[in-house]
Structure 1
Amino acid sequence: MGLRKRPVLPPNIGFILPTTSIRYNEAAPRRTVPLNYPLIFKPTFRDYIWGGRRLGTVLNKPIPDEGDYAESWEVVDHGEDQSIVANGPEAGKTLGQLVNEFPEDLFGSKTPSATFPLLFKFLDANRDLSIQVHPDDAQGAKLDPPDLGKTEAWYILDAEPGAKVYVGLKEGITQEDLAKAVVEDKVIASNTTFRLFDWNRVGADGKPRQLHIQESLDTIDFEKGPVQPQEPQPTSDPDIERLVTCD
């Protein structure tokens, strides 16, 4: 479930992660001092070929002076990709370290987790993204190495005239129909993203980017028809809207 409140954030700060103030049992192998202040993380950037400069010009992110940048990762705990705390007594620690030291403060007592399960990012889609599909948890567990599934929710902050989002399939499209519509290429898994089509463009090395045709076809749920945008829903608090609910 995603909720949106309207806080005032410091300059260059995109996300603040609130925590609880639960204290642990003194015998537990965890920290007994609570993690009871809002966490601010340093963003990290990805220079994918479809990015631009708006992460800096619009969101005031400290991207490098040269090159195009597609994503600003605000909160991440995924292997070697780690958010670094920028404020308070835990400054300099990774989110993964905090998960190990303060599991109940981050998740509550009912939801233990080995990693922080959400990834928050800003995107600058200056050019077309590749057509992709992401596996669910069951499919992600079969990868080598295994990984979590990837359920996405996008909140569009700004769009130029004529901008489009392609999502879902037309009703009645089968796996065979889709297979005929794409060009076969070498199939290599890329974490939890399978690239179905990339507009016949090349990467920074001058070579066509790898496609994952069969994995994409195996992952797509062909029973789902057209997908429609979801409107924010009100809650009992007039300052909070529900953006998304996910199983």
Structure 2
Amino acid sequence: MTDSKKKRISLVLGSGGARGLAHIGVIRVLESEGWQISTIAGSSIGALIGGFYAAGKLDDYAEWVLDLTELNVLRYLDIAWGGAGMLKGEMLMQTLKKFVGNHRIEDLPIPLTIVATDVLRRKEVWLSQGDLFDAIRASIAVPTVFTPHLVGGRPLLDGGILNPVPIAPTLQDPTEAIFAVSLAGVAKKLGGGNRHGNDAKPIEKPRHRYRKRIDEFIDQLQERLGFGDDGEDAGPQLSLSDTALLSL
């Protein structure tokens, strides 16, 4: 099928940690089926995969990942002593940079929007201009794992915190369809309970619990970065597993 006959689509790649490697398979299937990926939006690992694809270097990234060993992984874990995250991410990003060099997002052959989270304003940020790896570094900054990354003077974190599947940036794209890839899996059905509801107790909706936990985490992070009121109680502490849950 020639490029003129291919159907143009917008591709949305969601967050999901190591599961994000599934994005590579999705892209290859779409291409084999004759779809032309004309625009991309991504959060977290979706931003990384989308960035490599837009720069034409996805195959290099996939080959590098397949060759990784446990020892190789340990070499990339540069510890951030006393910071807002365990890892700086500098060694990892330097390694990734060598595959594609220095690129500005607006100069990529495929329009790309990378989504990150603004720590101070508690809002998602759409990055469609500026340094590609600055944007990727910000969007993969998993809370308490990687340190926040400054972009335009703003400390930014993992885009998956507030928008794990960023469809909104693609809604105005001049394409024929939007393909959105979520790595969250299928929700389990809630079981048990009294059928007649005699002993039923109010259950907090998952969305509300999720939002509350995000707010609590950002409160704590602002305190650690010096943006909060030191005189106030920092609130309940989140474990690494808690914050990993927020970003995946």
Q: Same fold (TM over 0.5)?
A: no
Q: TM-score, normalised by structure 1?
A: 0.29
Larger fraction in helix:
2
Q: TM-score, normalised by structure 2?
A: 0.29
Higher RCO, 1 vs 2 (CA within 8 Å, ≥6 residues apart) = 2
